[in-house]
Structure 1
Amino acid sequence: MSTAIRGRGRRLVLWRHGQTAWNLEGRFQGTTDIALTEVGIGQAKRAARLLAALKPDAVIASDLQRAADTAAELAALTGLDVSHHEGLRETYAGVWQGLTHDEISSRFGEEYAAWKRGEPVRRGGGELETEVADRAAPVILDAADKLPDGGTLVAVSHGGAIRTAIGRLIGLEPHTWESLGGLSNCCWSVLGEGARGWRLQEHNAGSLPEPVLGDDD
């Protein structure tokens, strides 16, 4: 798949959803549909004010509630409609979903250790990171292809899904995607379009003083 699209100067803002209770508890969320906390709603409102200043042309989002509700805060400020996509969901992690890292380590020690070593692992019998990129990156590229030259797309998704999409879009080998690091709740990364395709311009923007919580890492 090509990492470039037609035209020049487009911008992709990949925005992680706000805080959830499972983020605070260190539980794998995956595709489980968990709502934002009150803090998470506040994070979304604050971040939306900053992102609205970028004058986005389009907003897309995962159809899971935590991402959809985050996107809704930006839509309220910009007047843009949000297009929801199952392809932007977080990595499906099978039986790991709902468990903490300690619980996973104790019950699935060998699988957990292999994942931590950077090996391709179907966590809990779920998706590989490359499979997440296979479904998420095309959704983002399809929406970006509809932008005007110099236009901006905001895609609201999840920490793991965003990391895999960035890795795919900027042409990194899958085993290096982990080196991108996590996104804090309601923070974002920016990819800009150049002559050779997409380039990472900002990562985990808006993060201070927010820690990275529950990024499935």
Structure 2
Amino acid sequence: MSSTDEVPAPSGRGRRVILWRHGQTSWNVERRFQGTTDVELTETGVAQARRAARLLAGLRPDAIVASDLKRATHTAAELAALTGLQVSYDGGLRETYAGAWQGLTHEEIIARYGDEYAAWKRGEPVRRGGGELETEVADRAAPVVLRYLEKLPQDGTLVVVSHGGTIRTTIGRLIGLDAGNWEALGGLTNCCWSVLGEGARGWRLLEHNAGTLPEQVLGDDD
């Protein structure tokens, strides 16, 4: 590992969870809503995953759990190859199911479902395309993260490989934000991550959208 790839290992007491978004897909580039559609990584996405894995391996994770969609499993595999850890997979970490929105570009969604889109961006509870509420995504994803955290040692680090919308809702739930304020958490760029640390009063957001120079966020939740 070169000096430019080195990241200091986490210090201090308490568990940490790194919520890592998958690498780029063709639908990200096309600004097409993926949801639970199983889209592969692009070559750029694979390269992103390899670079990010080198950084995250320096944090010496104790466990990796990933969504079972290919863009997440292939991203997780890059970290597993460097750390020797076995990846666990859980469908509870999938991206938000968005029904009729899935496969549409953002422009098509706004044209066909403009009122629904605007209500969602205002923070109102919306079943996008007839799919899941954001709170329902948190209901299934946050318990997965907590279940794997329970298996860690006192100072252990868990890497969760998931999707932008699911990560946003999980962070919001774990740090105790009201669901109407989850939009305040900016989107994650492909293959970037957020870090939560365990404090005396619960989970705290220590880093958000880490791992890259600023660039456009391309995702379902932007």
TM-score range, shorter chain: over 0.9
Q: Which amino acid aligns with 1:121?
A: V
Aligned residues: 210
Asked if residue 45 in structure 1 is aligned to residue 50 in structure 2, the reply is yes
Determine the structure 1 residue equivalent to 2:182: 177
Determine the structure 1 residue equivalent to 2:157: 152
Checking the alignment, whether the CA contact within 8 Å between 1:20 and 1:66 is kept in structure 2 is yes
Asked if residue 94 in structure 1 is aligned to residue 105 in structure 2, the reply is no
Give the alignment's TM-score, normalised by structure 1: 0.95
2 CA distance for matches of 1:85 and 1:130?
A: 18
Q: Which amino acid aligns with 2:55?
A: L
Match of 1:115, SS state, is helix
2 CA distance for matches of 1:192 and 1:71?
A: 21
CA positional deviation for 1:101: 1.1
2 CA distance for matches of 1:109 and 1:171?
A: 30
Match of 1:42, SS state, is helix
Determine the structure 2 residue equivalent to 1:33: 38
CA positional deviation for 1:211: 2.2
Checking the alignment, whether the CA contact within 8 Å between 1:185 and 1:210 is kept in structure 2 is no
2 CA distance for matches of 1:203 and 1:112?
A: 25
Determine the structure 1 residue equivalent to 2:76: 71
Deviations 1:161-197 (A, max 9, x none): 0000000000000000010110000000000001111
Q: Which runs of 5+ in 2 are unaligned?
A: 1-12
Deviations 1:123-167 (A, max 9, x none): 000000000000000000000000001000000000000000000
Match of 1:13, SS state, is strand
Give the alignment's TM-score, normalised by structure 2: 0.93
Checking the alignment, whether the CA contact within 8 Å between 1:17 and 1:156 is kept in structure 2 is yes
Determine the structure 2 residue equivalent to 1:202: 207
Determine the structure 2 residue equivalent to 1:3: none
Determine the structure 1 residue equivalent to 2:112: 107
Match of 2:194, SS state, is strand
Q: Which amino acid aligns with 2:58?
A: A
2 CA distance for matches of 1:105 and 1:193?
A: 39
